[in-house]
Amino acid sequence: MTPSRAGEVAGRRTWLFDLDGTLVDSCPAHESAFRQAITEIAPGALASFRYAAHAGASTAEVASHLVPGDPVAAGRLARRKQRLYREYAEAGAVAVLPGARRLLERLTEDGRTVYLVTGGSRGSVERVLAACSLGGYFRAVLTSDDVPVSKPDPLFYAYACRRWAVDPAGAVAVEDSAHGVASAVGAGLVTLQVHGAEPAAGAIAVSDLDEIVSLFHQEQR
């Protein structure tokens, strides 16, 4: 990131964060919950299931993809997966990623406004935030239960901005997945991508959350 772009990003007062894969390492728990639910409800879909291909999508969307044309089975699969994942979260299987707490603390100490924009269900998100002691950093939380679309649809982030009266031109989003980046970029947000295996179109790639923290140290020089 160029110094001028780094200063532009660090100077923004409103920050919107994704949760899974961005602030918490929940992928192993999500994948385990999906595999167990698929084994129980749609075992024929297990051999072709690759969790990485669905990162950033809602559980309901993934379930519909796994059992196309059968909304009853898809609904059962989604509900079972969510129950299993919530059990994992409550058992401490979801860890805060390095740098996440430092970044959130820095933003809130500086008086910046921080929101959470996640494709997870509200019940699952609330359990993760409680288990990881992260809930206190966010002014408000938007989940897949609040929006009629899923990431990568830009309407997901656009809805968040309208709901909270956020000007996309003056805010920054932090995402990890291509789905999340596409939603944020499509809504007009400057978007930082962390932990990405491959750069997503339109995003500013950063190596990790601590690199974002370092932007604020540079701003003070």
Given a cut of 60, whether residue 221 has pLDDT beyond it is: no
pLDDT of residue 158: 98
Peptide bond before residue 3 is cis, with ω within 30 degrees of 0: no
Residue 220 confidence class, pLDDT cut points 50, 70, 90: low
pLDDT of residue 14: 98
pLDDT in tens, 174-201: 999 999 999 999 999 999 999 987 889 9
Residue with tokens 């008086």: 111
pLDDT of residue 4: 66
Provide φ and ψ at 20, rounded to 5°: -70, 125
pLDDT in tens, 115-149: 999 999 999 999 999 999 999 999 999 999 999 99
Q: Is the pTM of this model over 0.85?
A: yes
Given a cut of 70, whether residue 47 has pLDDT beyond it is: yes
**Angle of CA points 1, 180, 197, to nearest 5°:** 60
Q: Does domain 3-25+95-220 have CATH number 3.40.50.1000?
A: yes
Given a cut of 60, whether residue 219 has pLDDT beyond it is: no
Structure letter (DSSP) for residue 117: E
Domain boundaries, the chain: 3-25+95-220, 27-90
Which residues does residue 171 pair with via DSSP β-bridges, in sequence order? 14
Residue 40 confidence class, pLDDT cut points 50, 70, 90: very high
pLDDT in tens, 74-117: 999 999 999 999 999 999 999 999 999 999 999 999 999 999 99
Distance in angstroms (rounded) separating the CA atoms of residues 204 and 197: 13
Residue with tokens 């997901």: 156
